Amino acid sequence: MAASSPVPSFYLDPQIRDWVLFPITLVMILVGILRHYVVLLLQSPPKRLPRAAIREQRALVQSNVLRATASNSPIPFFFYKSISQNLSKAFADGTYLKDGPSKGDAPAAPPNPLTDPAAMDGMMAGMKTQMVMMVPQMVIMGWINFFFEGFVLIKLPFPLTLGFKSMLQRGVQTPDMDVRWVSSLSWYFLNFFGLNGLYRIILGGENAADAAQNMMASPFASAGAPQAGAPQDFGKLFKAERDNLEFAEGLHKWIGEDVEDRILRKYGRAAS
Amino acid sequence: MSTPDEAAQRVFGPNVLHNANLLYDIKFISSCLSGAVAGILGLENWLGFALFLAATLFTTAILHFVTFRGRPKKYVYGGLLEVVNPGQENAFSFILVWTLFYGIVHVYD
C-alpha cells in the first residue's frame, strides 16, 4: 500500500538518546521549575490600599455576597432587609466612595491608567510574568535549533500528515522520509505540551510554569486589564448594585422558615 | 427538591478544588503510566490510543467503585462524565511518555 516496500527502520546511535533526548527533557523540566520560582520572587507584595479604598471595595463584595446567598439566606428577613437597606442608602449617598460623596457638578474623570499607581502595579506584574514566561521558551528553542539540528532524533509511534513534515523535520532535508522520524525541535514541542501535568504535581496547582494557562492568559490580560482594572467607576457600580439589592430582596428566603414543620415531618410527627 | 441553583450554592469551594486537583493528579499519573506501557509494548498508531482509552476507562472504573464508593456525584460536581474526561494536557503527556518509551525501547539499539 505504501509507495515503497516496507521501509527498513533506521538504527539510531544510543548516544543520541543519552546526549539529546534526556538532556532536552531535563533542561525543560528544570527551566520550568526555575520559571516558577523566578515569578514567585519577582512578585512584589500587594500594595496596601488606604482604608477608604478598601472600604469601597469591601462594601461591594459584601453586597454581592448578600445577594448571592439571598435565596438560601441564613439570616431572617428582618435582619436581611436592614443590612440591605443600609447598604442601599450608603450607595445612594456615596458615603463609601473613596473620595467622599460626589460633588455632583462635574462627573469625576476615571483616573488615567498610566498615571494611577495602583493600575500600573497590576500591569507591570502581568508584563513581568509574560516576559519570564516567553524569554526562556525563546532561549531554549534557539539553543535546540543551534546545537541539535540536522539529525533525526526519534520515531513517533503514530502517523502524521505530510503537512507536519516541514515543521517536525526541520534540519533534515529528505523529501522521502516518513514523517514519523522527527528532529529535536519536535521533541521540544512534545515536552512543551506534555510537561504541564508534571509541573502541577511538583509545584502544586497554582504554579507559574503552566504553559497553556499562560498562553491563554496573555492575550486577555494585556488587552483586558486596562479596561477592567483601575478605572472602575465605583459611583456607577454602586448605583447598579442598588438595583440588584432591591431585586434580591424580593428573592430572599430564610432557610429556617418552615423549620418546625420540616423537623416534625422528618421525625414522622407531622401535624397534618 | 432543591433547584440546581440552590444545590450549586451549597457546594463548598475549597473542597471542590481539592477534589479536582487530586483527580487531575491521578489522571496525569495514569496517563504517564499508560504511555510507558504503550511505549514498551511497541504499540503503534491507533493501538496506542486504544490503550490510552482503555487505561482511562479502567482508572475511571477503579475511581468509581473504590474511591467514590459508587456515588461520584457526591465527590465530583460533574458526576461520572467529569471523572472520565482525561483533559487535553494529560493526552499530551500520554503522547510524550509513549514516544519516549517507544524510542528508548524500540528505536535505539
B67 residue type, one letter: T
Q: Which residues of A touch B89 (CB under 8 A)?
A: 193-194, 196-197, 212
As a whole number, the mean pLDDT across chain B is 84
Cell of A255: 432557610
pLDDT at residue B35 greater than cutoff 80? yes
Write out the E strands in A145-265.
Answer: 154-155, 181-182
Could you give the count of Cα atoms lying within 13 Å of B82 in the half-sphere of its Cβ? 14
Q: Which residues of A touch B92 (CB under 8 A)?
A: 190, 193-194, 196
Closest C-alpha among A32, A35, A38, A22 to residue A195: A32
For residue A182, give the DSSP letter: E
Say what the pLDDT of residue A226 is.
40
Say what the pLDDT of residue A246 is.
83
Write out the E strands in chain A.
Answer: 154-155, 181-182
As a whole number, the mean pLDDT across chain A is 75
Cell of B50: 486504544
Cell of A74: 441564613
Overall average pLDDT of the A12-35 stretch? 87
Say what the pLDDT of residue A180 is.
81
Judged by CB atoms closer than 8 Å, whether chains meet at B99 and A198 is answered as no
Q: Is A197 on the interface with B (CB under 8 A)?
A: yes
Q: Tens digits of per-residue pLDDT, A89-119?
A: 887 777 777 666 655 544 455 555 555 665 6
Question: Which of the two residues, A232 and A229, has the higher pLDDT score?
Answer: A232
Strands A181-182 and A154-155: antiparallel
| Distance (Å, whole) CA A96 – CA A58 | 10
| Distance (Å, whole) CA A36 – CA A188 | 19
Overall average pLDDT of the A201-228 stretch? 56
B98, A156 Cβ separation under 8 angstroms: no
The number of C-beta contacts closer than 8 angstroms across A and B is 93
Overall average pLDDT of the A160-188 stretch? 79
Question: Which of the two residues, A103 and B83, has the higher pLDDT score?
Answer: B83
Can you give the length of chain A in residues? 272
Write out the E strands in B1-109.
Answer: none
* Three-state SS at A169: coil
| Distance (Å, whole) CA A91 – CA A87 | 6
Closest C-alpha among A84, A83, A85, A58 to residue A237: A58
Say what the pLDDT of residue A225 is.
41
Q: Could you tell me which residues come within 8 angstroms of residue A38 by beta carbon, excluding any fewer than 6 positions away?
A: A132
Overall average pLDDT of the A175-200 stretch? 84
Q: Is A130 on the interface with B (CB under 8 A)?
A: no
Lowest mean pLDDT among A2-16, A30-44, A63-77: A2-16
Q: Which residues of B touch A194 (CB under 8 A)?
A: 89, 92-97
Say what the pLDDT of residue B68 is.
83
| Distance (Å, whole) CA A91 – CA A134 | 44
Residue B23: count of CB within 10 angstroms of its CB: 19
Respond yes or no on whether ipTM tops 0.85.
Answer: no
